A and B are shown apart, each in its own frame.
Chain A
Amino acid sequence: MKKLLSFLMLFLLSIGALFAQDRTITGKVTDATDGTPIPGVNILIKGSTSGTTTNNEGNYTLQSVPSGATLVFSFIGFQNQEIASANQSVINVQLQSDTKQLNEVVVTAIGIERDKKALGYSVQQIKSDELGENKTNLLNSLAGKIAGAQITSSTGAPGASVNIVLRGYTSINGNNQPLFVIDGVPFNNDVNNTESSLGGVANSNRAIDINPDDIASVSVLKGPAAAALYGIQASNGAIVITTKRGSNTQGKVSVDFSSSVAITQANKFPELSTTYTQGSGGVYQGPETGQGRSWGPKISDLVFDGSTDYPYDKNGKLVLKTGNPNGKSAITYDPLGQFYRNGLVANNSISISAGNEKNSIRFAIADQRNKGIAPNTRYDRTSVRLTGDSKLTNQLSMGASFNYVLSSGKRAQQGSNTSGIELGLYRSPINFDNSNGNSNPKDSSAYYLPDGTQRAYRAGGIYDNPYWVVNNNLFEDNVNRFFGSLEFKYDPVRWLNITYRIGADAYTDKREQPFALGSAAYPAGRIIQDAYLYRHINSDLLVTFKHKIGDNINLSLLLGQNIYTRRYENLLQIGDEFNFPGFIQMGNATTIQASQYLGKYRRVGYFGAFNIDYLNMIFLELTGRADKTSTLPLDNNTFFYPSARLSFAFSELAALKDNSVLSYGKLRAAYAVVGNDALTPLGYYPLRTTYYQVSSATAYQIADGWTNGVSFPINGVSAFTYGDAYKNSSIKPEYTKNLELGLELRFLKNRLGLDITYYNQKSSDQLLSVPVSNTTGYSSVYLNAGDITNKGIEIVLNATPIKTDQFSWNLTVNWAKNKSMVEKLAPGIDNVFLNGFTGGSTRAIAGQPFGSLYGYKFKRDANGGYIVNDNPNAGAGVYGFPEIEDKAGVIGNTIPDWRAGITNSFTYKGFTLSALFDIKKGGDIWNGTRGALVTFGRAKETDNRGEEIIWQGTKASDGSTNDIKVPLNQAWYTGNGGGFGSEAKQFVEDASWVRLREASLGYTFRSLGKTPFKSINISVFGTNLWLHTKYKGVDPETNLTGAGNAQGLDYFQGPNTRSFGISLKAGI
């Protein structure tokens, strides 16, 4: 009853307001320094939430202004003005610029805008025009621009995943990628792998569905302090994206159009021999012998015999020159140069927006076509977007956005996969032409012999000819994705805001991987159909109370509730053994295995944030959040975590306020705890061990690491096995504690800015799947164990060294160093395998930084020399050669010493020239590709075969100086001198680089007078144009297993690319 009464009162009050003396006020707002009009200035009726904005000419019209009202004029970069309206009907205002105050607005994780000055933690902002011309994967556009972010592309194949880690790895088994948030709603960035990450295609991370052209700005919130309010998914930071929306254009329609086209090409290949041919022991053995290696004679010793029916080469069979002195010289083919060709990326987009002071709308459509450097491979994306914003009443506003993306690819397998491109291609000897003389990559005479079997450099179907792979066995994926949000903001009174936002993200990702009859990995043929159905719904209810105490103290209290529900489903079907060739479809398969997986997850969180702002100079924020999740034991599934942040804008102090040198200075300190549940490290159902069907569909087939193994059911009989991961019903959440200190300075009216951050982070009680001795009956056990610490420094420097009327030079440098340490793992466990092979792998090793490379190394004596085997009976390739340690250990580390990005941009009248240099110092990669190519006699370093050396060091038996002369020959290189021997450290290389990641030169036409165009920009641009590195393989920005915790692995993945192109942008 009382409520009803209050409601009635409100209603009457508002009606009453209608009958007061209202008038309309108009005017123009200009810049006090030069009189130019300022569009978009906010004009508010003080004490209410009604207002308007100025149009493109700086004019405004404000209706229903009550008598005696005060108008507040505000705009970023200018000082606010309050003007009593008295009885005027025209009020013109000149605003003074406000260079001292940094009124930058930053969007925090929950979608709340905060003044950067008030933030107690480190945030870096990238505007849409800083994203560059690479529009395939948003993460590539951020590379080199964010201090402390390690962004690593996996390969140059179109659509390949990109890994991003801010501030180091905090979780051993779990997700270390930051949370993606679009317009306040979480956005899924998973990578789904149909096959093993060691050999399959380079799948995409789902952030690839974001069209960079739709982005207005990206806020990178690093570390838990920034994301403490957002919850557990943001324990590694958050990438908060604000998209472009309509605005008040006084009803005028504005159209933006952009189009670009670029050529891509491989930028670096492994160093291969161009001297030695297929064979063994110096004797030529051609393709028909099935010889895999290149230990044959020099190509200059071989000639064609002129036969016309030799299916492996149109010029004839190769024979020794000595017996055929008149034969045509053998041709030295270039397998990689011939196979990889120029790719093409074309981007087109158009957006239409319109709005007035109450409503605005924006529609955008964009299309990308990306043809890869491997023939027939591609990645395409089409996205359609509609946003609408409306001020329903003075107190209630609503915003909605709907996005639909069609994202698809045709990809080729890579890695340790006999049916991938690179295993066969990189090992192809120089005497074999994979294309069989054809320039058209689709010509089947390249990969089929006249008898219908496969034509490849090794007869017997051992590696697929790369042309076979791209014509017969391309992986196709099709993603339909919808994401959108609906948001209501209600300001019933001045001191209260209620925001409710509900968002959804849903995609279907359907893949098909065929293996034609005769393929190396599945000679009888195989077809895989793999479908992922994903959706999540996120609801946020935020209530903010504001209160002012006197003139100097502002308080606010935010209370919120969040519900996040996710559903993930996977349907997998594998058909084997085709009845007849030419029809690769489930209907032609003799055996079919199928499996399904359903994961459901839900999380409810309650959080609060209390803010005190004193004198607009000292800001204190205290937050707390409690989460309840479905992956922790039902009787103990709630956990609480707090944070505190303090910032002190000391440049506001009276003593410093008008300083001519220091325009702005702020100190910040933050301490935050973030909890994490079991979802990302351990999956949807981590609490109880179950049985599994023995089938490759559940990954519990019975196999032996070399072969595909056995899957059930067979002849109607099923087999089930007990899970070998011991699941634990008493797991607890893991916690990350983070301390962050920062200093921000701006000098000389913002001509020079510096932002330094130090952080110290400890993650403990990690939820790990810890490998255990198989003798326990399990292979791994889920438990809470392990501590990782991360410490580091991030520095961002902004400078405008030269600024005149016509010309300006802007320089931005970011530099960061991260030191991580795996303090301990579980009791008795000193390393956890992340990914890799028995020869070389990436692991988390106690007492080492995260991401150590692990394998065997040569024994060394006290002086660092080799310990050489001096037992004459030890055999070729062993006697006289270095011995290897008995135990494997750390042979390198994948984390760099430091990373930096340097952006220079110059503007002169309408021209803009900009270049981004990206530097990585340190960080190792296990070059397994080079190791294998040494064994195969294809690596350039084996051109020294036959040379004799004496290994520097001492003899194993007595420690005397080694004097045994031995040849570096096939026995050595195919044994411990190569990748298939026992020693891995010789193939671990420093992957430091300096590269010119982005460069562009453009001209913008403005003042186009009579034409409808507001501006036209033409640019030429390039990515990865120049690379300097000592690494001996493909571009060292690479990782076989793609985005994920195991980095630093190079094993027969495709090369990276560089591109150059031209773009045209126009606005109406």
Chain B
Amino acid sequence: MIMRTNKLFYILLCSVLLTITACDFINDDFTKDPNNPTSVTPGALLTSIETSIAYTQGGEVSRYTSIFIQSLKGIGRQHEAYNRYIMPAETFNNIWSNYYSTALEDIQQLKILADGKGYKAYAGIAKALEAYTIGTMTDLWGGLPYSNAFKGTDNLQPTYDSQEEIYAKIQELLTAAKADLSGDLGDITPDADDFIYEGNTDRWLKFVNVLSARYYLHLSKKDASNAQKAIEAIGTAGFETTEDDAKYAFGNSETAANPAYQFLQQRAGDITYADTYLTDKLDAMNDPRLEVYVDMESGDLASFYGSINSPVFFLTYAEQNFILAEAYVIKSDLVKAKQYYDIGVKAAMKQVGVPESAAAAYPFDVTKPLETIMLQKYFALFLQPESFVDWRRTGYPAITPNSGTEIPRRFTYPQSELDYNSANVPKPNTLFDKVWWEQ
């Protein structure tokens, strides 16, 4: 009797011990992430967007397109091979990922936030920057995933839109941006978080117009009527002085520094900006810009583009004028072409702080109008990927390959796309294929 009671007692004791502890141990305290927010202000996103576009464009995009357009030479380590157009698909992984997973995804998040809360200014700027970004990207690669992109796990392998479709999207976005920026701007508007225009929506409206013109001009090779569309896009509502230049201002500390500066500091010996086609031409003309562009002794960038806080230019007054000049050449109106050409050359000088009088060295040559304009545009758009578009569209400047028989005409789709979205990557996919508007 005692034994059985003992047994019972112990079994009871044990079960009590084991179940006493079945309380709720796992709750929100353990599952909710205390380290990162689930929602942020629109300004925080805008700054991230602008920075990623500027850093990517001023960094790798600028370096690779400058190799192609011969305003930069790769001389050390990997860049020596790049100089000879040996560029495996991984080379473009970073650029693609910065644009898609950072810049464009943050733009989608900002659009959702801004549209939801009626922050029209942010919505408009987001759309303008989206157009800018996919514009830059489509000119580099060709077709791009867009209408089926940004859907997360709902579509892990988005199909590619054709370049023609992307171009249509660009103009759509710009129209919508214009509408957003023209009405009631909403409760919260950008200010110091906008590193390009500090929230000045008038300037953003001008930006939208000039950008629209740029993309019409690109299509002029396919259909000359686009030249007129470009002119109309600008109309009387474009940039008015170099003060309106859209540029991202980098900071004064090493961790806020310009990408070209960072590369020259941290990867010294890989590239040089001296002894290139561009510097040779500037040197031959004794152009005062040479001094502020490139330090010919060290091969680094000089004060204007190579300082710690040098800006990265998105869209300039100089470019606007060259767009108009070229459009008028296409329309065979050389008078207007010259008019805008002259303003453009002066603007290019002013942009980098050089006396406008230096523009006198470059009179408009009516016997070869396009060549004249494109050469000046080449000088003015130093380090910008737009020069690579210009060369492909017009054939100027007249450069010859560093190696082999051809100069590349695009970036290849990155290794990450070949790895994770291979079924959809368009073919052919080499450095030397022409994009749609060039065919």
Contacts and interface: CB of A to CB of B under 8 A. Distances in A.
A709 B266 contact: no
Interface residues of A, number: 116
B78 interface: yes
B135 interface: no
Interface string A702-728: 111111111110111111111110101
Contacts of A888: 88-89, 415
Contact of B153 (A524, A698, A726): A726
B175 interface: no
Given A706-B266, A708-B266, A728-B153, A685 B31 contact: yes
B297 interface: no
Interface centre among B7, B25, B155 (most CB of A within 10 A): B25
B269 A462 contact: yes
Interface string A591-633: 1010011101110101000000000000000000000111100
A112 interface: no
B156 to A, nearest CB: 5
Nearest to B33: A685
A477 interface: no
B404 A875 contact: yes
B133 interface: no
A830 B419 CA distance: 7
B29 A591 contact: no
**Category for how many chain B residues contact A:** 35 or more
Contact of B253 (A418, A576, A709): A576
Contact of B35 (A561, A598, A773, A875): A598
A831 interface: yes
Given A462-B268, A724-B105, A773-B420, A838 B88 contact: yes
B111 to A, nearest CB: 12
A524 B252 CA distance: 12
B253 A704 contact: no
B158 to A, nearest CB: 5
A724 B30 CA distance: 23
B77 A828 contact: no
A535 to B, nearest CB: 15
Contacts of B5: 2, 6, 9
A3 interface: yes
Interface stretch (A117-125, A172-180, A777-785, A786-794): A777-785
B399 interface: no
B368 interface: no
Contact of B254 (A13, A559, A577, A688): A577
B267 interface: yes
Interface in B54-102: 55-56, 59-60, 76-78, 80-81, 84, 86, 88-91, 93-102
Interface in B22-51: 25-40, 43-45, 47-48, 51
A493 B90 CA distance: 70
A957 interface: no
Contacts of A976: 86
Contact of A498 (B17, B52, B84): B17
Interface centre among B17, B36, B78, B157 (most CB of A within 10 A): B36
A522 B192 contact: no
B254 A777 contact: no
B9 A6 contact: yes
A521 B267 CA distance: 9
A777 B81 CA distance: 31
B33 A781 contact: no
Interface stretch (A153-161, A689-697, A945-953, A1034-1042): A689-697
A522 B48 CA distance: 24
A491 to B, nearest CB: 11
A630 B26 contact: yes
B432 interface: no
A292 interface: yes
Interface in A297-341: none
B10 interface: yes
Nearest to A833: B419
A23 to B, nearest CB: 26
A704 B416 contact: no
B355 interface: no
B269 A690 contact: no
Interface stretch (B114-122, B201-209, B255-263, B324-332): B255-263
Contacts, number: 303
A710 B56 CA distance: 11
A710 B255 contact: yes
Given A561-B21, A710-B255, A717-B47, A598 B93 contact: no
Nearest to A856: B88
A80 to B, nearest CB: 26
Interface in B188-203: 192-193, 195
A14 interface: no
Given A563-B21, A724-B101, A773 B157 contact: yes
Contacts of B403: 874-875, 878
B260 to A, nearest CB: 9
Contact of B251 (A628, A714, A726): A714
A526 to B, nearest CB: 8
Contacts of A704: 55-56, 59-60, 94-95, 98, 259
Nearest to A773: B421
Contacts of A1007: none
A10, A524, A717, A875: which has the most chain B beta carbons within 10 Å? A717
A633 B54 CA distance: 39
Contact of B415 (A10, A783, A838): A838
B210 to A, nearest CB: 25
Given A690-B37, A708-B255, A774-B97, A559 B18 contact: yes
Interface string B238-258: 000000000000110111110
A596 B12 CA distance: 47
B156 A692 contact: no
A776 B88 contact: no
B18 A561 contact: yes
A597 B35 contact: yes
Contact of A720 (B44, B59, B423): B44
B31 A634 contact: yes
A877 B403 CA distance: 11
Contacts of B25: 563, 602, 604, 628
A629 B26 contact: yes
A695 to B, nearest CB: 8
A775 B266 contact: no
A222 interface: no
Contacts of B419: 771, 829-831
A440 to B, nearest CB: 29
For B7, B265, B418, the residue with the greatest tally of chain A CB atoms inside 10 Å of its CB is B265
Given A462-B268, A591-B253, A685-B32, A773 B416 contact: yes
Given A724-B101, A775-B421, A980-B80, A706 B48 contact: no
A831 to B, nearest CB: 6
Most buried by B among A493, A721, A831, A875: A721
Contacts of A865: none
Contacts of A922: none
20 contacts: A460-B269, A496-B10, A543-B17, A576-B255, A596-B35, A606-B18, A687-B31, A690-B38, A702-B102, A704-B98, A711-B256, A712-B51, A721-B106, A722-B106, A726-B153, A773-B145, A775-B145, A775-B149, A775-B158, A975-B86
Interface of B: 2, 5-7, 9-10, 12, 14, 17-18, 21, 25-40, 43-45, 47-48, 51-52, 55-56, 59-60, 76-78, 80-81, 84, 86, 88-91, 93-102, 104-106, 108-109, 144-145, 149-153, 155-158, 192-193, 195, 250-251, 253-257, 259, 262-263, 265-269, 403-405, 415-421, 423
Given A710-B51, A714-B253, A720-B37, 15 more contacts: A462-B268, A493-B7, A630-B31, A684-B33, A691-B36, A704-B95, A704-B98, A704-B259, A706-B60, A707-B266, A708-B254, A723-B36, A828-B423, A887-B418, A976-B86
For the complex of A and B, list the 4 residue pairs with the smallest distance between their C-beta atoms, beginning with the closest.
A630-B30, A685-B33, A838-B90, A774-B100
